[in-house]
Amino acid sequence: MSQYHIKNLQEYLQVYKKSIDEPETFWAEIAEEQFIWHKKWNKVLSWDFTKPEVKWFEGAQLNITENCLDRHLITRANKTAIIFEPNHPNEKAQHITYAALYEQVCKMANVLKAKGVQKGDRVCIYLPMIPELTVAILACARIGAVHSVVFAGFSATALATRINDCNCKMMITSDGSFRGAKTLNLKQIVDDALVNCKDLETVLVVKRTGEEVQMEIERDFWLEELLNEASPICPAEIMAAEDPLFILYTSGSTGKPKGMLHTTAGYMVYTAYTFKNVFQYEENDVYWCTADVGWITGHSYIIYGPLCNGATSVMFEGVPSFPDYSRFWQIVEKHNVNQFYTAPTAIRALAKEGKNYVEVFKLKSLKVIGTVGEPINEEAWKWYNEYVGKHKCPVVDTWFQTETGGIMITPIPYVTPTKPTFATLPFIGVQLALMDDEGKEFKGNQVAGRLTIKFPWPSMARSIWGDHERYKNTYFSTFKNQYFTGDGALRDATGFYRITGRVDDIIIVSGHNLGTAPIEDAINEHEYIAESAVVGFPHEVKGNALYGFITLKETPPNFNLEALEKQINTLIATHIGPIAKLDKIQFTEGLPKTRSGKIMRRILRKIAENKIDELGDISTLLNPDCVDSIIENRLV
């Protein structure tokens, strides 16, 4: 018997040991007992990190939607799968049962097929947090199409890059989206993007805001009309274990975004297993993850993980500040949420507004509260524990990445201990290491280094779409035979891990990963700008905010500082999205460079953090003189 649900510390230790000593037996047991397959595997795992190539459950055949939907129809047909909580509290929440979700998915799958989508085709999904987003994802998986969800806060340029990178054939979007008091016209953004996407054939449009949109004949269709005519029966396409399930883009420290490619069987097994244990989900619990489905957390822990477990998962369309800062807590009480999962940036933003918004709520239903996306500072952790958890809910600080697919380091609530700011222990099957810069592993405790993973786990990304070489270089070349996370971490005296942050040129702003290179590229498009360097600095709500050091080619005519700053942020918003706007802009005569001409971001980072006594040796710079004036004019 597999130990699918770990209930105490002894079990954790025993199961962890088994997962390391006999990984194949361990995962095969979980896979065999907890999922339905058309055909079992011939081999549980084959791997070679030098290629890199990783295959789990090779030879198996399945469809993930049968595991998320069909099998529940016997015992859970009338159980709520999704509770949809709309942006506006006056709009009624929807309770979508497993039976209803199944029917909607089959209908949408038939629409996709009727529009020519076939197994292996890529479908771009650019939707707000509405039920159709879940339905669209599962409809793709039903017919073996590869979904590529793009967060609906990205700009038209960013969207076009992602559509073209994986040659999407179809787009599923909506007329608009409600975000607090604002409405965004998503269809217009799609139209702007599609000017540069010649291969995309069809656009399906969900009606949500009711605003006027342009419909291009023979390309654009209202989804509702097609669904009304679609059959509710759609047999699932039989997929191989390693067939692609989805692509999800994440920022790279250089160049274009990386389309992380996830495959079917391993992803399913790992996300389901982690969901069950990290949230200690019990039948009839109501679980709510506030992330957007446009990020990996939403893919794995709003959709696939919960649905594989037959769970009830809340999907919230709005924002924590609308109509006021108590919205989250109102929703927790309204739907009796048992597990609540959010980001440190949201916690800090709510804490800043004061305890009055949360104190009045008893939040009695809560059993587990989680965070994800960035390091959580001690103050935020304690506030969360006190005002939301009321000191009775374990705080699970979960560390993972788009690349890892599922949670990798986390406490297991009521099983392993928690500790403020620590993600604590590796999850079952996860073999971590901390490395020094020379590639030597730090053994023992009370050490800090670069975080790597030494052994494959089922939900790891298998490649970067269209660029396997980049996958190898980014993740498998820094340390021999190991996956390099890009994060730094420390291990305390008891062996608990604390993630200290990125060690590359990726900055996490409000939980969103942003590469510095694409932001700088956007800035450098300005005709009067010669060069720029973007670094992060600590920000009390966003975790990090962006500081741009910029040199001009010449002073623009009728120079106006404010106008120029605005132009820079507009360029960033149109190329990437508003989330990447700079909080601080400093114009400088020059940027510190190495003799080979590389901008020394390390120095700029210290200046942005106002740690000017930690600059280190600057004498080897090509132009040490520029540093003094940058320091003098720094924005603090």
For residue 397, the minimal CB distance to ligand 6R9 (Å) is 5
Q: Are 523 and 386 in contact (CB under 8 A)?
A: no
Our CB check for ligand 6R9 shows the closer of 168 and 508 to be 508
* 155 is an interface residue for ligand 6R9 by CB under 6 A: no
Our CB check for ligand 6R9 shows the closer of 387 and 400 to be 400
Measured distance CA(138)–CA(46) in Å, rounded? 28
Return the residue of 502, 575, 581, 634 that touches ligand 6R9, per CB under 6 A. Answer: 502
The stretches of 388-530 forming alpha helices (DSSP H) are 468-476, 516-524
* 399 is an interface residue for ligand 6R9 by CB under 6 A: yes
* 297 is an interface residue for ligand 6R9 by CB under 6 A: yes
- Applying CB under 6 A, the span of 193-201, 270-278, 295-303, 614-622 interacting with ligand 6R9 comes to 295-303
Query: For the residues of 492-529, what is the DSSP string, one character each?
Result: -TTS-EEEEEESSSEEEETTEEEEHHHHHHHHHTSTTE
Return the residue of 372, 564, 607, 627 that touches ligand 6R9, per CB under 6 A. Answer: 372
Return the residue of 57, 400, 457, 483 that touches ligand 6R9, per CB under 6 A. Answer: 400
Our CB check for ligand 6R9 shows the closer of 340 and 399 to be 399
Backbone angles phi, psi at 306, to 5 degrees: -60, -45
Residue with tokens 């980014």: 474
* 424 is an interface residue for ligand 6R9 by CB under 6 A: no
Our CB check for ligand 6R9 shows the closer of 206 and 289 to be 289
Measured distance CA(180)–CA(551) in Å, rounded? 37
Measured distance CA(151)–CA(179) in Å, rounded? 13
Q: Are 242 and 45 in contact (CB under 8 A)?
A: no
For residue 405, the minimal CB distance to ligand 6R9 (Å) is 10
Measured distance CA(415)–CA(277) in Å, rounded? 9
Backbone angles phi, psi at 485, to 5 degrees: -80, -25
The secondary structure of residue 579, as a DSSP letter, is G
Residue list 240-269, contact with ligand 6R9 (CB under 6 A): 250
Going by C-alpha positions, the residue among 456, 401, 471, 432 that lies closest to residue 56 is: 456
Residue 114: CB atoms within 10 A of its CB come to 12
Q: Are 343 and 290 in contact (CB under 8 A)?
A: yes
Our CB check for ligand 6R9 shows the closer of 96 and 388 to be 388
Our CB check for ligand 6R9 shows the closer of 374 and 521 to be 374
Measured distance CA(630)–CA(636) in Å, rounded? 12
* 406 is an interface residue for ligand 6R9 by CB under 6 A: no
Q: Which helix (H) or strand (E) holds 289?
A: strand 286-289
Our CB check for ligand 6R9 shows the closer of 431 and 500 to be 500
For residue 24, the minimal CB distance to ligand 6R9 (Å) is 27
Our CB check for ligand 6R9 shows the closer of 87 and 371 to be 371
* 375 is an interface residue for ligand 6R9 by CB under 6 A: yes
- Applying CB under 6 A, the span of 7-15, 89-97, 330-338, 372-380 interacting with ligand 6R9 comes to 372-380
* 295 is an interface residue for ligand 6R9 by CB under 6 A: yes
Return the residue of 174, 338, 398, 452 that touches ligand 6R9, per CB under 6 A. Answer: 398
Residue list 5-64, contact with ligand 6R9 (CB under 6 A): none
* 499 is an interface residue for ligand 6R9 by CB under 6 A: yes
Measured distance CA(592)–CA(533) in Å, rounded? 10
SS3 14: helix
Return the residue of 104, 401, 459, 544 that touches ligand 6R9, per CB under 6 A. Answer: 401
Q: Are 432 and 447 in contact (CB under 8 A)?
A: no
Give me 343's structure tokens: 């980001």
Residues in touch with ligand 6R9 (CB under 6 A): 250, 295-297, 372-375, 397-402, 423, 485-487, 499, 502, 508, 513
